[in-house]
Amino acid sequence: MSATETTTARPGTAETGGRRDAVLTIEHLDVVYETEHPVHAVKDVSLTLAPGEILGLAGESGCGKTTLAYAITRLHKPPAKVASGSITFHDRDGSDVDLLGLGDEELRAVRWSKLSMVFQGAMNALNPVTTIRAQLDDALKEHRRDLSRKERRAIAEDALSRVGVDPARITAYPHELSGGMRQRVMIAMAMLLEPQIMIMDEPTTALDVVVQREILREIVRLRDELGFAVVFITHDLPLLLEISDHIAIMLRGEVVEFDTASVIQHEPKHPYTKRLLQSFPSLSGERGAFIRSGVDAGTAFGTDQEVAS
């Protein structure tokens, strides 16, 4: 069973009824790992991402979430192969880009500037022997060659400030930062060129719950401030119910349910979605009462020097 339902535009997005309601359209996508015994990792997936929307992608480990993300960004490598389907990026300039049809140089131009990704385990993905400044500078030099060194540093420092990292830490090496700060640096790097889509593959994994909460709050704030759309991948369904506009539930490579977060929480249709909801412990003693009060409660976290009381 695949999901072909079209999302509803969020307030402030284009009017419903046209392709411009979407920033990304995935149609009948199939990804196969061509091994001795081929594995059909993504099966007939169809999804639509609206501008400024947070689309949650949930499911157990091995269900195909990361494979789908890698297919969108064209980061999959052999033996993974897109067997069929299409992925179309709808640029804000009015053009449609066939992501699967791009050549290497065209793809390099789209990545990071139009479409960026925060990888699973991203806080350990920074180069340990290079400063944060140099790593942010690399992305800017590749995509914004008209900028001076001073302008690049100003943009990098601003990006760090947006995610709550003191710009003075720009000269630090990754090992000098905490896990939460490294994760924020990776988010800053992904939003450095203000892309229209940010794919986040379990960006809060391995962080303590307080830091997780702060980073989630910041992601929502940055989405509201900069207007980018987010594909948020996790196995933590209660987390997605807090921050997502729409949620897609994956099982064995298929999207078995795709609806608004409210419908997924209160009126789940697929048996797997119901089991997934029931698998989380209750916070109040009542079944399903695992949802917190909302990630947007309170104020956004401050600099990295602040400690939660």
Are 176 and 207 in contact, with CB atoms under 8 Å apart?
no
Comparing C-alpha atoms, which of 90, 79, 75 is closest to residue 27?
90
Reading the block at residue 56, the tokens are 């949650």
pTM: 0.82
Whether the predicted pLDDT of 47 surpasses 90: yes
Each residue of 226-277: pLDDT tens digit?
999 999 998 888 889 989 999 999 999 999 999 999 999 999 999 999 999 8
Residue that the structure tokens 């192969």 belong to: 81
Each residue of 82-107: pLDDT tens digit?
999 999 999 999 999 999 999 999 99
Per-residue confidence at 20, pLDDT binned at 50, 70, 90? low
Are 8 and 52 in contact, with CB atoms under 8 Å apart?
no
Percent of the chain with pLDDT over 90: 65
241's CB contacts (< 8 A; 6+ apart) are 56, 247, 261, 264, 265, 291
DSSP labels, the chain: ----PPPPPPTTSPPTTSGGG-SEEEEEEEEEE-SSS-EEEEEEEEEEE-TT-EEEEE--TTSSHHHHHHHHTT---TTEEEEEEEEEEE-TTS-EEEGGG--HHHHHHHBTTTEEEE-TTGGG-S-TTS-HHHHHHHHHHHH-TTS-HHHHHHHHHHHHHHTT--GGGGG--GGGS-HHHHHHHHHHHHTTT--SEEEEESTTTTS-HHHHHHHHHHHHHHHHHH--EEEEEES-HHHHHHH-SEEEEEETTEEEEEEEHHHHHHS--SHHHHHHHHTSPPSSSSTTTT--S-TTSSPPP--TT----
**What would the CATH number be for the domain defined by 1-114+198-292?**
3.40.50.300
pLDDT at position 204 is 79
Residues of the chain with CATH 3.40.50.300: 1-114+198-292
- Lowest-pLDDT choice from 126-140, 217-231, 279-293: 279-293
Helix 149-162, helix 179-190: angle, nearest 10: 120
